[in-house]
Chains A and B, each alone.
Chain A
Amino acid sequence: MQLADLYRDVILDHNRQPRNFGELSPADATIEGFNPLCGDRLTLRLRFGDDRIEEIKFDGAGCAISTASASLMTEAVKGKTRAEALALFERIHLLLTDDAAPVDDEELGKLAALSGVREFPARVKCASLCWHTLARALRSSQGQGPAAVSTE
């Protein structure tokens, strides 16, 4: 277990300069994620074109892991269909929680940087908050689920 595994350059970079950070107006879906234990908060805003995520932005306050994960996520899912984005959510969920999950750099691209988190169980919630929020946004924009999500 090494700190450098957790705080890889990609993570540090996306924490310092989060991509797709800010408001999105108008938005087709706005959903909040909250981790009551640590106080991390984020708001995801999405705009869809046909079935694809045309635009996605986030804002809020969180730690480096939470901020970088959200930033990487918005880059990764922009342009994806709902089904593709949900499939990626499942993949990342495994990556974060299952030690045996493969870290396929090519397929995951920059998202592979999140794999270091699984060595730090206390921080898995930080990395997964935005992904759970996204999954809920995608499902609720199809008429399922509540408009807020919590990783506690």
Chain B
Amino acid sequence: MNNTVSVLEPARFDVAAVRREFPVLARTIHGHPLAFLDNGASAQRPSAVIAAVDDYERHHHANIHRGVHALSQEATALYENARDRIVPFVNARSRQEIVFVRGTTEAINLVAQSYARPLLRPGDEILITHLEHHANIVPWQMVCDQTGATLVVAPIDERGEVHFEAVEALMSPRTKLLACAHVSNSLGTVLPVHRLVAAAKARGIVTLIDGAQAIPHLPVDVQALDCDFYAFSAHKVFGPTGIGVLYGRESVLERMPPWQGGGDMILTVSFAKTTYNALPYKFEAGTPNISGVVGLGAAIDWLGTLDLEAAHAHESELLAYATEVLEGIEGLRVIGTAADKASLVSFVVAGVHPHDLGTILDQDGIAIRTGHHCAQPVMDFFRVPATARASFAFYNTFEEIDRLGASVARARRLFT
């Protein structure tokens, strides 16, 4: 009997086992095994999520918070239990701080319209960075138009980094809100959010962190971060589309008026006066995406079965390897070379437009994103119309990166 266990060798992350959990990864595309390197746009679903949504749809669906019948009670329990699992996932203080929304975009719009709009006066400022996704730019431009406030944009450097000092220098007594990404979707840059939030808080500036790209790659602890709002989408973290979370500090959410009116967000309605429901229901008007919430809960449960530290370490190795492979290709330039990056690589190849690259890679079964990544100011900064972006999840492999490199090299040969 050999029961020797090596305590010196760290457990390797079992990529093959994780891949078996994702049915779509067994597909072939144009005759090649799918290499899905577009996780930054949307990650794939594990069987556990698919099964949970299927079970809900087959056996438990009814409207929530309404009926006394069994199905309504089951659906309500599934929906609210999912909320309870998100509380520890981001380390919120209570379930009152977890508001279900359609996604990160809706979360930011909710804060813009419910928190910022009633508060802002002409001359007030909202501070963002040059790296933001359009979803963290346009809602603020809209609220600036509505209130006469000004949008102030902190610069980035040629590596695509946001320097703490550069943002801090723009914080003024007029700054009412700091809204920035945790991780840049176009470049992968990890922003110094802890220091930024601390500096903002010291000046009484309310903070929103766009966590859409961070949530699959980094542990998120909203209490340690001490931000007032944190937004993310379920589909970036292996859950369904059309559902997301706005974390809000309870004391801030309490002061905010409802954004949308309707059923579920009220206590009593008469034509003379309506009283609003308590948190978080005040912000959840109408029948929500119940199956989406169930799927998100299942995704969080499933992530809980993984060694996330090992998973994230694997992602870092993928990033390092992909950077090495891609930088070895003549004429290829990596856009965004920050010291601290999440596992995605944006790049351009001299003489090959990103869209042509996208088509050629697709023919080889490799899915990447090409375009401006909803971050046109970033493209303008680097003076490129678009980039190709390979974004990795822990189910990706080194072999897929070899295929990526070979396919990019082939595209270059075709065009030059």
Contact = CB atoms under 8 A, between A and B. Distances in A.
B291 to A, nearest CB: 29
A113 B393 CA distance: 39
Contact of B415 (A40, A64, A126): A64
A130 interface: no
Contact of B386 (A16, A38, A65): A38
Interface centre among B356, B359, B385, by most chain A C-beta atoms within 10 angstroms, is B356
B16 to A, nearest CB: 31
Interface string B343-374: 00000000011111001100100000011100
Contacts of B363: 1, 3
A68 to B, nearest CB: 10
B370 A120 contact: no
A108 interface: no
Contacts of A38: 355, 370-372, 386
A39 interface: yes
A41 B355 CA distance: 13
A62 B372 CA distance: 12
Interface centre among B355, B370, B385, by most chain A C-beta atoms within 10 angstroms, is B355
A129 to B, nearest CB: 12
Contacts of A6: 359
B30 interface: yes
Contact of B359 (A39, A41, A67, A120): A120
Nearest to B353: A63
A3 B359 CA distance: 8
Interface in A100-133: 120, 122-123, 126
B379 interface: yes
B356 A63 contact: yes
Given A39-B371, A39-B386, A40-B385, A12 B414 contact: yes
Interface residues of B, number: 18
A7 interface: yes
A114 to B, nearest CB: 15
Interface string A29-68: 0000000011111000000000000000000011111010
Nearest to A62: B353
A15 interface: yes
A7 B385 contact: no
Nearest to A1: B30
Given A61-B385, A62-B353, A63-B356, A39 B372 contact: yes
A7 to B, nearest CB: 6
A55 B370 CA distance: 34
A39 B30 contact: no
A63 B355 contact: yes
B371 A123 contact: no
B370 A122 contact: no
Contacts of B355: 38, 40, 63, 65, 123, 126
Given A3-B360, A38-B371, A63-B356, 14 more contacts: A1-B363, A3-B359, A6-B359, A12-B414, A12-B415, A38-B370, A39-B376, A40-B355, A41-B385, A62-B353, A63-B353, A64-B352, A64-B415, A123-B359
29 contacts: A1-B30, A3-B359, A3-B360, A3-B363, A7-B356, A12-B415, A16-B415, A37-B371, A38-B370, A38-B371, A38-B372, A38-B386, A39-B371, A39-B372, A39-B379, A39-B385, A39-B386, A40-B385, A41-B385, A62-B353, A63-B353, A63-B354, A63-B355, A64-B352, A64-B356, A64-B415, A65-B355, A123-B359, A126-B355
